[in-house]
Chain A
Amino acid sequence: MSTLPLAASDGGARFPGFSSAGQAKHWDTATASVVMARLGRPPEIHFFTPAQEAAAGALCNQLLDQREEPRVPVTAMIDARLAAQETDGWHYEDMPVDAQAWRQTLAALDDEARFRCGAVFAAATWHEQTRLLQGIQNLGPAPWHGIPAKQVWSLWTRYACTAFYSHPWAWDEIGFAGPAYPRGYKNMGVDALEPFEVRDVHPGDDPVRGKKGSP
Chain B
Amino acid sequence: MSNVRERNESAWLLPAGPGTNHGLREQMRRFADDDEVDIVIVGCGAGGSTLLQRLARAGWRAVALDAGPFWDPERDWVSDEAGSHHLYWTEPRVIAGSDPVPLGSNNSGRGVGGSMVHYAGYVPRFHPSDFRTRALDGVGADWPLQYQDLKHYYQDIEEELPVAGEHWPWGDPHGYPHRPHPVSGNGELFQRGAMATGITAKVGPVAISNGRFGNRPHCIYRGFCLQGCKVNAKASPLITHIPDALAHGAEVRPDSMVTGVEVDARTGLSTGVHYVHQGVPRFQRARMVAVAGYSIETPRLLLNSTSARFPDGLCNDFDQVGRYLMVQGAPQTAGRFDAEVRMWKGPPPEVSSEEFYETDPTKPYKRGFSIQTVSPLPITWAEHVMAQGHWGAALRNYMSDYVHWACLGALCEFLPQAENRVTLATELDRHGLPVARFSYSQCENDGALMKAAREKMELILTAAGADEVITIDRYAHLVGGARMAATAEHGVVDADCRSFAVPNLLITDGSVLPTQGSANPALTIMAVAARAADRLLINGAASRSN
Contacts and interface: CB of A to CB of B under 8 A. Distances in A.
B400 A88 contact: no
Nearest to A178: B80
B121 to A, nearest CB: 16
B78 A165 contact: no
A166 B377 CA distance: 10
Given A11-B399, A93-B96, A88 B88 contact: yes
Contacts of B88: 88-89
A128 interface: no
Interface string A16-38: 00000000000110110011000
A179 B79 CA distance: 5
A209 B400 contact: no
Nearest to B379: A165
How big is chain B's contact interface, by range? 35 or more
Interface string B89-109: 111111110001011110000
B382 A165 contact: yes
A196 interface: no
B83 A185 contact: no
Contacts of A10: 393, 396-397, 400
Contacts of A175: 342, 400, 402-403
Given A88-B103, A130-B392, A206-B401, A180 B79 contact: yes
Name the residue in B230, B381, B398, B400 with the highest tally of chain A Cβ atoms < 10 Å from its Cβ.
B400
B293 to A, nearest CB: 15
Contact of A203 (B96, B224, B338, B393): B338
Given A183-B222, A188-B183, A173 B379 contact: no
Given A63-B392, A90-B93, A188-B182, A12 B400 contact: yes
Nearest to B221: A185
Interface string A183-194: 111101111110
Contacts of A91: 92-95
> Mostly helix, strand, loop or mixed at chain B's interface?
loop
Contacts of A213: none
B230 to A, nearest CB: 5
Interface in A60-91: 62-65, 86-91
Given A157-B391, A181-B230, A208-B470, A188 B400 contact: no
Contact of B104 (A11, A35, A89): A89
A163 B394 CA distance: 18
Nearest to B86: A86
Contacts of A181: 79, 220, 222, 224, 230-231
A139 interface: no
B198 to A, nearest CB: 21
A190 B341 contact: yes
Contacts of B102: 88, 90
A31 B95 contact: no
Nearest to B101: A90
A90 B95 contact: yes
Contact of B346 (A92, A185, A199, A207): A185
A166 B189 contact: no
B397 A207 contact: yes
Interface string B183-215: 111001100000000000000000000000000
B431 interface: no
A151 B83 CA distance: 24
B144 to A, nearest CB: 32
Contacts of B342: 175, 193, 197
Interface string B426-467: 000000000001000000000000000000000000000001
B392 A185 contact: no
A92 B338 contact: no
Nearest to B381: A165
B392 A173 contact: no
B92 A161 contact: no
Contacts of B77: 30
Contacts of A100: none
B489 interface: no
A179 B78 contact: yes
A107 interface: no
A93 B92 CA distance: 12
Contacts of B223: 180, 185
B74 A90 contact: no
Contacts of B400: 6, 10-12, 14, 173-175, 205, 207
B246 to A, nearest CB: 24
Contacts of A119: none
Contact of A65 (B18, B339, B383, B396): B396
A200 B340 CA distance: 8
Contacts of B136: none
Given A176-B378, A199-B340, A166 B81 contact: yes
Nearest to B181: A188
B90 A208 contact: no
Nearest to A97: B92
Contacts of B377: 176
A183 B386 CA distance: 31
Contacts of B344: 176
B279 interface: no
Given A65-B392, A189-B185, A200-B404, A171 B221 contact: no
B314 to A, nearest CB: 24
B378 A34 contact: no
Nearest to A38: B82
Contact of B392 (A64, A86, A171): A64
A89 B396 contact: no
B319 interface: no
A31 B79 contact: yes
Contact of A11 (B18, B83, B378, B401): B401
B173 interface: no
Contacts of B404: 200, 203, 206
B419 interface: no
Nearest to B429: A89
Contacts of B230: 28, 181-182
Nearest to B97: A93
Given A34-B80, A175-B403, A185-B223, 16 more contacts: A27-B79, A63-B395, A88-B103, A89-B90, A90-B93, A92-B100, A137-B389, A161-B382, A162-B82, A165-B378, A165-B379, A179-B80, A180-B223, A180-B224, A189-B184, A209-B468
Closest 7 CB pairs of A and B: A184-B220, A11-B400, A166-B82, A88-B104, A180-B222, A179-B79, A208-B468
Interface of A: 6, 10-12, 14, 27-28, 30-31, 34-35, 62-65, 86-93, 97, 130, 133, 137, 157-158, 161-166, 170-171, 173-176, 178-186, 188-193, 197, 199-200, 203-209
17 contacts: A10-B400, A28-B230, A30-B75, A31-B83, A35-B80, A62-B391, A64-B392, A90-B92, A91-B92, A161-B382, A164-B382, A165-B379, A174-B378, A174-B403, A181-B224, A182-B18, A188-B183
